[in-house]
Structure 1
Amino acid sequence: MSLGIIGQAAGLFAVTNIDDILILALFFARGAGHRGSARRIVLGQYLGFAAILAVAVAAAFGATFLPESAIPYLGLLPLVLGLKAAWQAWNSHREGGGDEEKAQTEEGGPSPLEVAAVTFANGGDNIGVYVPVFATAGIGAMSVYAVVFLVLVAVWCLAGRYFATRPVIAKVLTRWGHILLPLVLIAIGLLILIEGGAFA
C-alpha cells in the first residue's frame, strides 16, 4: 500500500508541477555565474512549495487561510515580477547592459522571495487538486504525500539546473533568457488571472 501511495504521490506531483521545470531552468540561467544563486533558487522553490503544501493541508482539515475566490489573484505575483524583469531588461538594453550586469552582481541572480512568489502563485491551482486528495487520504497517507512532494522538489530543482547548464539550452538561455523570463512570468500571471475568472 505504501508503494502505491508513493507512486500516486509522485504522479500527482509530476502532473501538477511539470511547468515548474521551465521556470526553474530560466531562474538557474539568470543566476548563472553568481555565487550562491543556486542555493537561493532552491531555497525559494522550497519556500514557495512549502506554502502551497501548508495551505492545502490546512484546507484539507477545514481551515481556509486562502479563500477560493482569492486564488485567481495570485496571478498578480508573477505578472508584477514579469513586468519588473521586462522593465529591467529594457532599461539594460537602452543603457548598454551595464546596469543589468551591475544589478545581477549585487543581487546574485533571483532572490529566494522572488522564486517563492512565482512558485506559490503558479501552484495556486495545485491547491485545488491537493485538498480533496489530502482530505480523503488520512493523516498517514497525507504525510507520505508531503514527504514525496518535498523530495521531488529537489529532483525538480536538479532537472531545472540540468537543463539550464546543457550547452545548447544554456546558449539559448544566455542569449534570450532576459527576454524569455519576463515573457514566461507575464504569461503565467495572465493565464492564472484569466483561467481563474479574475476578469469575469
Structure 2
Amino acid sequence: MDLGIIGQAAGLFAVTNIDDILVLALFFAQGAGHKGSTRNIATGQCLGFAAILGVAVAAAFGATFLPESAIPYLGLLPLILGLKAAWQAWQNHRDGGDEESAAKEGGPKILEVAAVTFANGGDNIGVYVPVFATAGVGGMSVYAVVFLILLAVWIFAGKFFATRPVIAKALARWGHILLPVVLIGIGLLILIEGGAFGL
C-alpha cells in the first residue's frame, strides 16, 4: 500500500472535516447523562459520512444522485435543526428548568446527527469527487478505508473534548446556546457560500 496516498487521504480528511470535531463535541455535551447517546452520535456520524462517501464515489463514476445545484440547499438541514434546538433552549429557559427540561428531551437522535454530518459535508463531496475520479478504484478504496478509520478517531476526539472537565463544564453551561448557534451558522454558511436562493 502506497504511504503517499495514505498521507494524502489523511490530510484530505483532516482538512475537510476539522469543523466536525466542534459539532461532535457539542452533540456529546448535549447527550451527556443520556443512555445510548454515544451510540446514537457515533451511528449518526457514520451514517452521515457514509452518505457523503457514497455520493462522492458514485459521482466519481459519473452518476449524479445529487445535482451540484442542490448541494447549497443542504444548508437547510442544519439551519432547521439549529432553529429547533434554539426553540427548545428558549422554551426550557422560559419554563425555568434548563437542566430538568433538557434531561427529558433525551440526547441527540441518530438521524439528526446524520443529517447535520451530511449537510456539513456537502462541500466535501465537491472536493472528493475529482480526487476519487483520478485515484482509480484501488486509490479510491485506500481513501475510503483511511477516511473510515479517521472517522472513528474524530468520534473519539469529539467525545474526549466534551468530557475534559474544563470543556465539559463550559459545554454544560453554554452548550444549549452554542449548539443552535453553530448549527444555524453552518446552515447559513452552506446556503450563502453555495449561492442558494440567490444569496
TM over 0.5: yes
Determine if the alignment matches structure 1 residue 26 to structure 2 residue 26.
Answer: yes
1:131 maps to which of 104, 129, 132: 129
* Aligned twin of 1:2: 2
Instruction: Tell me, yes or no, if structure 1 residue 158 matches structure 2 residue 156.
Output: yes
Distance in 1 between the 2:185 and 2:84 partners? 14
1:46 paired residue number: 46
Please name the residue that 1:187 is paired with.
185
Give every structure 1 segment of 4 or more consecutive aligned residues whose post-TM-superposition deviation is greater than 4 Å: none
Gaps in structure 1 of 5+ consecutive residues? none
Three-state SS of the structure 1 residue aligned to 2:65 is coil
Secondary structure of the residue that 1:110 maps to in structure 2? Answer: coil
Distance 2:143 2:111 in 1: 25
Distance in 2 between residues matched to 1:165 and 1:53, nearest whole Å: 29
The separation in 2 between residues aligned to 1:99 and 1:163, in whole angstroms, is 24
State the 1:199 CA deviation.
3.1
* 2:196 aligned counterpart, secondary structure: coil
Paired residues in the alignment total 196
- 1:167 Cα deviation (Å)? 0.6
1:10 Cα deviation after fit = 0.2
- Pairing 1:19-168 to 2, within 5 Å after superposition: 19-97=19-97, 98-104=100-106, 109-168=107-166
Percent sequence identity over matched residues? 82
User: What is the rounded CA distance, in whole Å, between the counterparts of 1:4 and 1:127 in structure 2?
Assistant: 22
Unaligned ranges ≥5, structure 2: none
Instruction: Report the aligned-residue RMSD.
Output: 0.8
Partners of 1:111 and 1:149 lie apart in 2 by 23
Name the TM-score, length of structure 1 as normaliser: 0.96
Per the TM alignment, residue 175 of structure 1 is displaced from its structure 2 partner at its CA by 0.1
